[in-house]
């Protein structure tokens, strides 16, 4: 006979096995959904507003975290911006109204106003609230190869990483990725690189991504109107690239690459399809708590989905089933697609359901399975005509 304690241990072991074999997407510990944007610009580089105004925008629009990722600069040290054009002065007046004379540090000289930008250490405590809002330091490492823009975000970076250069598109990416991982190892801080807008300037192809090591994230959706998420007659869409990379990584024993949706916001003054406005693309992360380590861990585990408007209530993905529950909106129809490798080995839609929940039973020969949830709700302030709200969940790799 088993003692009570032994029985308990056996039960714990069995339930442990059960959890492992089912590998629920959600952590076993109770978690929360946190909404975040990992790609944002401000006056620190080429954004058109003050960091504190941008943080206020995100916080007041239901986001839980933001990474301000200016080009080749961290919000540290001293930087003054000179404003004299009418639109710039209007932005200054708004900031002054919102934060007051005691907060804004500026000099007036005739018609010109010079403003000292707030550093990360200054604006962060003005917005952060435990469990409610978090600001991650970030940098868009802005590199190039033979005129092709190669941009890589370093989320939760602690020290500036200058563009590392290299002798090919792949090498430039790899050297910058390595620099982030080197800093992570040295600092002990959780941080990760992600490849930005591969189709911007038609710079990065799926083949360029194939040889990369320790590359886990790329932007399947970027809210900037110049980045060609959808590709064109000669170039693959970012989503097609994603599937090609997934197939390649799968066959080469690498872990999956996750797909992010981000704003890449630069324009906060006016709204329009030709502008990179905030609020277009984001991630919903299922994490234990709203802290950098927990959020980075959840992102790295693929415990998140990317969205341009669709909200999900649950995701379960394991080697047997892939299940989706949509937090449906009244009057909106949803199509849930499961995507993976077909019998001929090419990426394709394996199953499609018009419903607010769906289960895909995995056969085992699909290589990978991911889901895309497409609504018929037109996107507010779209980048392209006819854009609708969608969500992408992260793939499972099926390996024998
Ligand atoms: Zn960029
Ligand atoms: Zn950017």
Residue 205: CB atoms within 10 A of its CB come to 16
Give the residue from 307, 340, 366 where a domain finishes. Answer: 307
What's the domain count of the chain?
A: 3
- pLDDT at residue number 6: 45
How far does residue 361's CA lie from ligand 2's centre (Å)? 38
Question: How many angstroms is it from 299 CA to the middle of ligand 2?
Answer: 20
Residues 87 and 178 occupy one common structural domain:
no
Q: The sheet that has 312-317: what strands, in order across it?
A: 312-317, 321-326, 357-361
Is there a domain that residue 2 lies in? no
Identify the domain containing residue 351 by its residue range: 329-400
On whether residue 323 sits in a domain, the answer given is no
Please tell me the pTM assigned to this model: 0.92
Which ligand is in closest contact with the Cα of 138?
2
Backbone φ and ψ for 251, nearest 5 degrees, come out as -70, -20
3-state secondary structure of 178: helix
Residue with tokens 């932007």: 219
Q: Which residues pair with 354 in a beta bridge?
A: 335
Question: Both 69 and 91 in a single domain?
Answer: no
In terms of domains, do 67 and 85 share one?
Answer: no
Q: Is residue 13 part of a domain?
A: no
Which pLDDT value is given to residue 388?
Answer: 98
Residues in the 5 Å CB sphere of ion ligand 1: 151, 196
Asked whether residue 109 falls in the same domain as residue 155, the answer is no
Whether the CB-CB separation of 43 and 292 falls below 8 Å is answered with no
64 within domain boundaries: yes
- Cα of 172 vs centre of ligand 2, distance in Å, is 17
Q: Which residue, of 93, 116, 139, is where some domain finishes?
A: 116
Same domain (yes/no): 356, 369: yes
Same domain for 233 and 146: yes
Does residue 236 sit in the same domain as residue 252? yes
152 plus 266 within the same structural domain:
yes
What is the 66 CA–ligand 2 centroid distance (Å)? 13
The pLDDT value recorded for residue 30 is: 82
Query: Is position 312 within any domain?
Result: no
State the pLDDT at residue 60. 98
Please indicate, yes or no, if residue 290 is contained in any of the structural domains. yes
Q: pLDDT tens string for the chain (400 positions)?
A: 444 444 434 443 443 333 333 344 444 458 999 999 999 999 999 999 999 999 999 999 999 999 999 999 999 999 999 999 999 999 999 999 999 999 999 999 999 999 999 999 999 999 999 999 999 999 999 999 999 999 999 999 999 999 999 999 999 999 999 999 999 999 999 999 999 999 999 999 999 999 999 999 999 999 999 999 999 999 999 999 999 999 999 999 999 999 999 999 999 999 999 999 999 999 999 999 999 999 999 999 999 999 999 999 999 999 999 999 999 999 999 999 999 999 999 999 999 999 999 999 999 999 999 999 999 999 999 999 999 999 999 999 997 6
Q: Quick check: is 320 in a domain?
A: no
Query: Distance (Å, rounded) from C-alpha 298 to C-alpha 309?
Result: 21
327 CA from centroid of ligand 2 (Å) = 30
Q: What's the CA gap between 51 and 282, in Å, rounded?
A: 19
The owner of tokens 């970012």 is 238
Residue 4 included in any domain: no
- Ligand closest in space to the Cα of 70: 2
Does residue 198 sit in the same domain as residue 292?
A: yes
Nearest ligand by distance to the CA of 266: 2
Going from the Cα of 2 to the center of ligand 2, the distance in angstroms, rounded, reads: 61
**Residues 88, 136: one domain?**
no
pLDDT of residue 348: 98
- Closest ligand to C-alpha of residue 148 is 1
User: Cβ neighbours of residue 281 under 8 Å, at least 6 residues apart?
Assistant: 37, 221, 222, 223, 261, 262, 263, 306, 307, 308
Could you tell me if 111 and 253 lie in one domain? Answer: no
CA of 71 to the centre of ligand 1 (A): 8
Query: Which CATH number belongs to the domain containing residue 62 in this structure?
Result: 3.20.20.140
Cβ(204)–Cβ(198) under 8 Å? yes
DSSP H/E element including 159: none
Strands 106-109 and 80-83: unpaired
Ligand nearest to the CA of 39: 2
The bridge status of strand 32-37 relative to strand 65-71 is parallel
Do 220 and 194 share a structural domain? yes
């Amino acid at each position: 006979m088993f003692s009570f304690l032994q029985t308990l241990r056996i039960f714990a072991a069995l339930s442990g096995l059960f959890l492992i074999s089912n590998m629920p997407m959600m952590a076993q510990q109770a978690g929360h959904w946190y909404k975040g944007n990992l790609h944002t610009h401000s006056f620190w580089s080429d954004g058109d507003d003050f960091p504190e105004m941008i943080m206020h925008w995100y916080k007041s629009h239901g986001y839980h975290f933001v990474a301000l990722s200016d080009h080749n600069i961290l919000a540290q040290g001293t930087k003054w911006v000179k404003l004299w054009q009418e639109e710039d002065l209007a932005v200054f007046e708004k900031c002054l109204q919102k934060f007051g004379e005691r907060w804004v540090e500026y000099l007036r000289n005739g018609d010109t106003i010079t403003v000292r930008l707030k550093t990360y250490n200054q604006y962060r405590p003005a917005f952060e609230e435990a469990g409610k809002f978090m600001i991650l330091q970030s940098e868009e490492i802005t590199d190039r190869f033979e005129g092709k823009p190669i941009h890589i975000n370093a989320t939760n970076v602690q020290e500036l990483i200058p563009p590392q250069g290299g002798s090919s598109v792949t090498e430039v990416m790899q050297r910058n990725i390595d620099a982030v991982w080197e800093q992570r190892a040295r600092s002990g801080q959780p941080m990760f690189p992600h490849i930005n807008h591969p189709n911007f300037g038609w710079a990065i192809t799926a083949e360029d991504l194939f040889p990369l090591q320790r590359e886990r994230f790329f932007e399947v959706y970027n809210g900037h109107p110049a980045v060609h998420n959808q590709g064109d007659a000669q170039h693959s869409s970012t989503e097609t690239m994603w599937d090609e990379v997934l197939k390649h990584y799968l066959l080469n024993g690498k872990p999956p690459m996750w797909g992010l949706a981000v704003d890449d916001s630069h324009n906060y003054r006016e709204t329009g399809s030709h502008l990179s406005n905030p609020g277009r693309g984001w991630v919903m992360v299922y994490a234990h708590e709203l802290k950098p380590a927990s959020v980075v861990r959840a992102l790295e585990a693929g415990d998140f989905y990317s969205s341009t408007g669709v909200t999900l209530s649950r995701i379960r993905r394991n080697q047997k089933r892939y299940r989706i529950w949509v937090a449906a909106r009244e009057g909106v129809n949803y199509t849930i697609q499961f995507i993976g490798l077909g019998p001929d080995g090419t990426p394709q839609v394996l199953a499609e359901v018009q419903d607010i929940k769906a289960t895909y039973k995995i056969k085992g020969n699909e290589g990978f399975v991911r889901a895309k949830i497409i609504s018929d709700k037109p996107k507010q302030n779209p980048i392209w005509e006819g854009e609708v709200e969608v969500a992408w969940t992260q793939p499972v790799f099926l390996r024998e």
